Structure 1
Amino acid sequence: MPSKSSARLAALTVAAVCSAASTVVIASPAHAEAVRIHDIQGSTRTSPYAGKQVTDVAGIVTGVRTYGSSRGFWIQDPSADADPATSEGIFVFTSSTPKVAVGDSVTVSGTISEYVPGGTSSGNQALTEITRPTITVVSSGNPVPAATVIDAETLPDAYTPAGDPAANGSVNSLTLQPQKYALDHYESLEGMNVQVADTRVVGATDPYTELWVTVKPRENASRHGGTVYGSYSAQNTGRLQIQSLGAVADFPDANVGDTLAGTTAGPLDYNQFGGYTLVARELGTLKQGGLKRETTRKQGRGELAVATYNVENLDPADATFDEHAAAIVHHLQSPDIVSLEEIQDNNGAQNDGTVAADQTLTKLIDAIVAAGGPAYEWRAIDPVNNADGGEPGGNIRQAFLFNPERVSFTDRAGGDATTAVGVTRERGKAALTVSPGRIDPANTAWANSRKPLAGEFTFRGKTVFVIANHFNSKGGDQGLTAQYQPPSRSSETQRHLQATAVNAFVKQILDTQKNADVVTLGDINDFEFSDTVEILEGDGELWSAIKSLPRSERYSYVYQGNSQTLDQILISPSIRRGCDFAYDSVHINAEFHDQISDHDPQVLRFRP
């Protein structure tokens, strides 16, 4: 996934952001009708009253949102019907601060709208709302309708029905089956007062005051208490996002494996950045699970240690250099070669044409030395200004650090932003035509994306080829809770082309020297089971070494409560064949609320 962006920070004052969304009007406004909430919600995802005016909709206020762009409140009918598919709750959008309180009995007249967080192009489901409301408070101090329990027993194991082919794969028109599908179950509770109890945290508290829990603690559990994402066809249904109606300062700083002890209760919302979300009126107490940052073992004298680490838009103005240095020295044990992703230019996001990153890299190396690590040297190629994607003006690129006391770099002149590296034969063995060099930079596969950086290294007299990658992000893909099922993964089209190009280059090396040691690594932005990685692996030219780990440890990133693999190290047959390698996903960031990057580094140790 892409690093969390400033665009999201600007947009997200609450979960649902009106300025970034669309309202779908399905019918023209008609005369006002007196209806109950379950009539409005209906038994599908969109209301049969969408676009119509309704009058005197009765309910008890269960939650009030007084901040952000989506101000309003939730009401619930305490007299439920007998249909489990029809929700008894609904959100009333007021735009200004509501003048109601939890426990008020109200009647609301207004227009029924289907609000799509993120806009219709996002593919998200719609949230049924009453807009342009007229509100009457009938009485106050009423008991809130009892919260519906969401737990492992009530939540189905199947995730979602397949979408209707006649509706381009949308599930909107399908009758909800809340006892069969998890997404249908959540939808049948949209806007209602719900509760979870003693839930384990599977996604750490983020800068937007939200976290993720699971109500199914045994579902694909990681060793640290997370929930591992291991297949497109086996979703983790127990995940649920938690936000709060309380003060930001009161929201807990939670890590993966912690517990929200006791009851967490409030209305069930649907938003752009997480789908179904419990917006807590009552928040459980944080019970820490004792998560500690991992430390890999030191490489042996005859082992070459190669690492990949996405340092998340690092530029000289950042305050994280000492922490990154400590991570490399102490947690990664000073690898011999480090492939860095998201190294920005010397003035970061200042968009003035600067492309050099020597100050960024020198500052990191100096911090590593100060932390007790080696005096690394570096190699990189400056990109064409604003041609490689990422934050505008930042000019992110991959770079190599290497410890000259342990490994040497074979410099071959001529590599620049637009010159393609090739493969030649020297004394019967493969060699690069330029080193460092970029793989096929004119290929449209790399349009507005980072070009791979190839380097030729020597360790104890043996050549090792290292290819640093940062593939196209998942931006633009539909979310797991989208109305289209299965959701579209449009971003992978470019990654497939990128994987094809890198595999073709590796094949050139191996065709020239069958037993060449090739390490292809970086932020692949796709899963170890994905088609992208299958293409990159090819016909055995490469193999993703994270698959040597137990399934419970195959992750480098946590997104929406799913512990998943984005960062990988792939190895050629000569490295894999003897099984004389060790792989470690070093969990120091992704599971922690105080992370310095959203990625965990990876380390490979082998004997060339």
Structure 2
Amino acid sequence: MHVIQGGASTTPYDGDVLVIEGVVVGDFQDPTNGLGGFFVQEEDLQADADPLTSEGIFVYTSTAPVNLGDLVRLQGEVDEFYNLTELKNIVNLTVCSSANPLPTPALVTLPLASAADWERWEGMAVTITQTLVAVDTYTLGRYGEVELALEERLHAPTDVVSPGAPALALQASNDRRRIQLDDGSNRSYPAPLPPYIAADGTLRLGDSIPGISGVLSYSFGSYEIHPTAPVTFTRQNARPAAPTPLIGDLKVASANLLNYFTTLTSSGAICGPSGNLQCRGADTPAEFIRQRDKLISELAAINADVFGLMEVENNPSAAIADLVDGLNSVLGAGTYAYIDTGYIGTDAIKVALIYKPARLTPVGSYAILDSSVNPLFLDTKNRPSLAQTFADSNGEKFTVVVNHFKSKGSPCNDVGDPDLGDGQGNCNLTRTNAALALLAWLASDPTASGDPDVLIIGDLNAYSMEDPLTALRNGGYTDLAQAFLPNDSYSYVFDGQLGALDHALASPSLLPQISGFTVWHNNADEPTALDYQDYNQSALYHPDPYRASDHDPLVVSFTPGMAHRLRLPLVQR
């Protein structure tokens, strides 16, 4: 096998027909519930002394009468199948003997010297004896996969270190500490439940296993271990039943709703102010009810006096009115009202504000930041920002401005803003300019409140150490996550790395009035399989707040007009 595998990332014998002999170390032949093949490894005495060459290989067949421990000889065509070296078109298979001792698994110790080092064990039995934690369950429901990392969770580099060389170094370190756990199957949406789900119906990020043994394969751009023994996670990250209680008279929360549309996607491209944009969110009426119930459960549990919301359907009022009606049906008639903005901008989604009229009164009209106000703010990329001043029962005023900056998910090359490769991703300049425009706009008192107390909230699509957040902090605003939760400020998990894309920042005059800040980790740490989509396993769905969205909500507490002593920790970020 080591001759076929070679010391490089691909075999030098692609297309050749060769004969191998070795011991079966993993049998996953079931074409429906398995991988459609088995793994063979050289006997220990037949292994070479080159650490760069793998001693195993995947044999692609679903009809071989083999068992674990069989010594087999077979002929097949070498195939580099999407970077997995395998044998196919198998003939002349003979079981030479059975119940043989299994070859010694390769002992893998993390972190690796290089993420590419996994190639030297491709197709082999491997074992890791170190503690591993779940860092990503995005594909758990669909493919039975869990991303694992050594001992602790991984941070998005630019959430904790500066862009450029420090971020790239941390990314390389993260990549050397991780491996994907698969389930020995090519099934999609394994039923009735995906693997590794605990009795309480979830696997939360941060949950751990004491190690793992299996065979190493490669698929869809990732090395992965298919276990050869049962895998059971230990719960390390308990589900928070509600947000951490905060002191203070008022609560303001920020929540990304993950495309709350009353117009179904099956309606076609009829959404947005132009009426020709693809609708988002639920596909069917049943999915919409599931989505609505989860979001209402989340928002009702937070019970904030003001919510800044992102990813609401951009129609005159139907979507936001429906959400408010749903909340009021749970919390009581008239509990919430919405700021009636009509359409905002040109996208299919918009930001929105809802509030408790028994607690707060809007002062004057709302204000919108878009390109017409400041060309530096590209409203063809960023969603326009929305500001509203409120007054409490004592007449104390404050302004909330909710934002949703351009995501990293698609490029901005058309406006001269490419990914510079420094870890900040696509459209960093677009987001930074939006932050600068926001600062200038707020300095002009856009709501004519005459009051400097301002709270910036929303999904800025930028991590804590990136340029947009640096610009806002340099502009005099305090990042409340850094002030109150320097070690627990994440709101999103992408590619197995946690970080804060959602933020709350206070103006200098508002800061002394703030008494608390928290992030409710009800969404980002949960598998996507728990969300409202009805292609997920039905047993996983509950009308509860867990995986109501992909972003965690933020909550800020304060008492208008009353200064609170704020002790800022000395944290280098």
Residues 271, 548 of structure 1: CA spacing in aligned structure 2 closer, same or farther, 3 A cutoff? farther
Alignment pair present for 1:323 and 2:306: no
Q: 2:360 aligns with which of 402, 407, 415?
A: 407
Equivalent-residue separation in structure 1 for 2:105 and 2:8 (angstroms): 22
Match of 2:452 in 1: 516
Equivalent-residue separation in structure 1 for 2:120 and 2:513 (angstroms): 51
Match of 1:313 in 2: 259
Whether the 8 Å CA contact 1:73–1:93 is kept in 2: the answer is: yes
Match of 1:472 in 2: 406
- Could you tell me how far 1:505 is from its partner in structure 2? 2.8
Alignment pair present for 1:269 and 2:246: no
Equivalent-residue separation in structure 1 for 2:341 and 2:75 (angstroms): 62
Equivalent-residue separation in structure 1 for 2:402 and 2:513 (angstroms): 23
Aligned runs of 1:182-331 on 2, under 5 Å? 183-196=115-128, 199-204=132-137, 206-212=140-146, 214=148, 216-217=150-151, 219=152, 230-231=160-161, 232=167, 233-234=169-170, 235-236=173-174, 237-245=176-184, 248=191, 249=193, 251-253=195-197, 254-260=203-209, 264-272=212-220, 275-289=222-236, 291-293=238-240, 294-298=242-246, 300-301=248-249, 304-316=250-262, 317=285, 318=288, 319-330=290-301
Listed one character per residue, the Cα deviations across residues 319-363 of structure 1 (whole Å, up to 9, x for unaligned) are 132332232222x2x21221112223xxxxxxxxxx526333233
Q: Secondary structure at the match of 2:150?
A: coil
Partner AA of 1:378 in structure 2: Y
Listed one character per residue, the Cα deviations across residues 258-313 of structure 1 (whole Å, up to 9, x for unaligned) are 3446x64322233447x332223433134444712242325523xx4221111222
Partner AA of 2:110 in structure 1: L
Listed one character per residue, the Cα deviations across residues 189-245 of structure 1 (whole Å, up to 9, x for unaligned) are 23322234564434457422445464632x4689xxx99973433343433322202
Partner AA of 2:322 in structure 1: K
Residues 492, 221 of structure 1: CA spacing in aligned structure 2 closer, same or farther, 3 A cutoff? closer
Alignment pair present for 1:138 and 2:111: no
> How much is the aligned-residue C-alpha RMSD, in angstroms?
3.8
Alignment pair present for 1:606 and 2:558: yes
Residues 102, 451 of structure 1: CA spacing in aligned structure 2 closer, same or farther, 3 A cutoff? farther
Partner AA of 2:252 in structure 1: V
Q: Secondary structure at the match of 2:383?
A: coil
Equivalent-residue separation in structure 1 for 2:73 and 2:364 (angstroms): 75
Match of 1:369 in 2: 328
Whether the 8 Å CA contact 1:437–1:453 is kept in 2: the answer is: yes
- Could you tell me how far 1:567 is from its partner in structure 2? 1.6
What percent of counterpart residues are identical?
A: 23
- Could you tell me how far 1:111 is from its partner in structure 2? 4.0
Equivalent-residue separation in structure 2 for 1:589 and 1:200 (angstroms): 18
Q: Secondary structure at the match of 1:582?
A: strand
Residues 411, 580 of structure 1: CA spacing in aligned structure 2 closer, same or farther, 3 A cutoff? closer
Whether the 8 Å CA contact 2:398–2:451 is kept in 1: the answer is: no
Match of 2:312 in 1: 343
Match of 2:437 in 1: 504
Q: Secondary structure at the match of 1:325?
A: helix
Q: 1:567 aligns with which of 479, 502, 505?
A: 502
Listed one character per residue, the Cα deviations across residues 97-116 of structure 1 (whole Å, up to 9, x for unaligned) are 5646553524343244362x
Q: Secondary structure at the match of 1:55?
A: strand
Equivalent-residue separation in structure 1 for 2:513 and 2:397 (angstroms): 19
Aligned runs of 1:457-496 on 2, under 5 Å? 457-460=389-392, 461-475=395-409, 488=421, 492-496=425-429
Between the two proteins, the alignment pairs up a number of residues equal to 473
Q: 1:584 aligns with which of 509, 518, 537?
A: 518
Whether the 8 Å CA contact 2:520–2:554 is kept in 1: the answer is: yes
Q: 1:396 aligns with which of 334, 349, 357?
A: 349
- Could you tell me how far 1:602 is from its partner in structure 2? 0.7
Q: 2:80 aligns with which of 100, 109, 113?
A: 113
Q: Secondary structure at the match of 1:401?
A: strand
Equivalent-residue separation in structure 1 for 2:469 and 2:513 (angstroms): 20
Residues 230, 84 of structure 1: CA spacing in aligned structure 2 closer, same or farther, 3 A cutoff? farther
Equivalent-residue separation in structure 2 for 1:128 and 1:379 (angstroms): 55
Equivalent-residue separation in structure 2 for 1:437 and 1:309 (angstroms): 19
Match of 1:148 in 2: 106
Match of 1:347 in 2: none
Partner AA of 1:586 in structure 2: W
Equivalent-residue separation in structure 1 for 2:148 and 2:88 (angstroms): 36
Partner AA of 1:284 in structure 2: V
Whether the 8 Å CA contact 1:455–1:467 is kept in 2: the answer is: yes
- Could you tell me how far 1:581 is from its partner in structure 2? 4.1
Equivalent-residue separation in structure 2 for 1:465 and 1:401 (angstroms): 13
Partner AA of 1:195 in structure 2: T
Residues 488, 325 of structure 1: CA spacing in aligned structure 2 closer, same or farther, 3 A cutoff? same
Match of 1:76 in 2: 41
- Could you tell me how far 1:72 is from its partner in structure 2? 4.5
Whether the 8 Å CA contact 2:28–2:35 is kept in 1: the answer is: no
Match of 2:19 in 1: 56
Whether the 8 Å CA contact 1:407–1:457 is kept in 2: the answer is: no
Partner AA of 2:552 in structure 1: D
Match of 1:481 in 2: none
Equivalent-residue separation in structure 1 for 2:234 and 2:298 (angstroms): 26
Partner AA of 1:76 in structure 2: Q
Equivalent-residue separation in structure 2 for 1:591 and 1:47 (angstroms): 39
Whether the 8 Å CA contact 1:109–1:134 is kept in 2: the answer is: yes
Match of 2:7 in 1: 43
Match of 2:276 in 1: none
Whether the 8 Å CA contact 2:208–2:233 is kept in 1: the answer is: yes
Whether the 8 Å CA contact 1:313–1:396 is kept in 2: the answer is: yes
Equivalent-residue separation in structure 2 for 1:227 and 1:260 (angstroms): 25
Q: Secondary structure at the match of 1:308?
A: strand
Q: Secondary structure at the match of 2:308?
A: strand
Equivalent-residue separation in structure 2 for 1:101 and 1:69 (angstroms): 15
Query: Structure 1 stretches of 5 or more lacking a match?
Result: 1-36, 116-126, 157-177, 345-354, 389-394, 413-434, 478-485
Aligned runs of 1:525-536 on 2, under 5 Å? 525-535=461-471
Listed one character per residue, the Cα deviations across residues 387-411 of structure 1 (whole Å, up to 9, x for unaligned) are 53xxxxxx22221111122223345
Could you state the TM-score of these two structures normalised by the residue count of structure 2? 0.71
Partner AA of 1:601 in structure 2: P
Listed one character per residue, the Cα deviations across residues 474-529 of structure 1 (whole Å, up to 9, x for unaligned) are 3369xxxxxxxx99479834242133123223223226699723322222223212
Residues 598, 337 of structure 1: CA spacing in aligned structure 2 closer, same or farther, 3 A cutoff? same
Whether the 8 Å CA contact 1:378–1:400 is kept in 2: the answer is: yes
Q: 2:371 aligns with which of 440, 449, 473?
A: 440
Residues 38, 533 of structure 1: CA spacing in aligned structure 2 closer, same or farther, 3 A cutoff? farther
Equivalent-residue separation in structure 2 for 1:539 and 1:228 (angstroms): 17
Q: Secondary structure at the match of 1:208?
A: helix
Whether the 8 Å CA contact 2:360–2:391 is kept in 1: the answer is: yes
Could you state the TM-score of these two structures normalised by the residue count of structure 1? 0.67
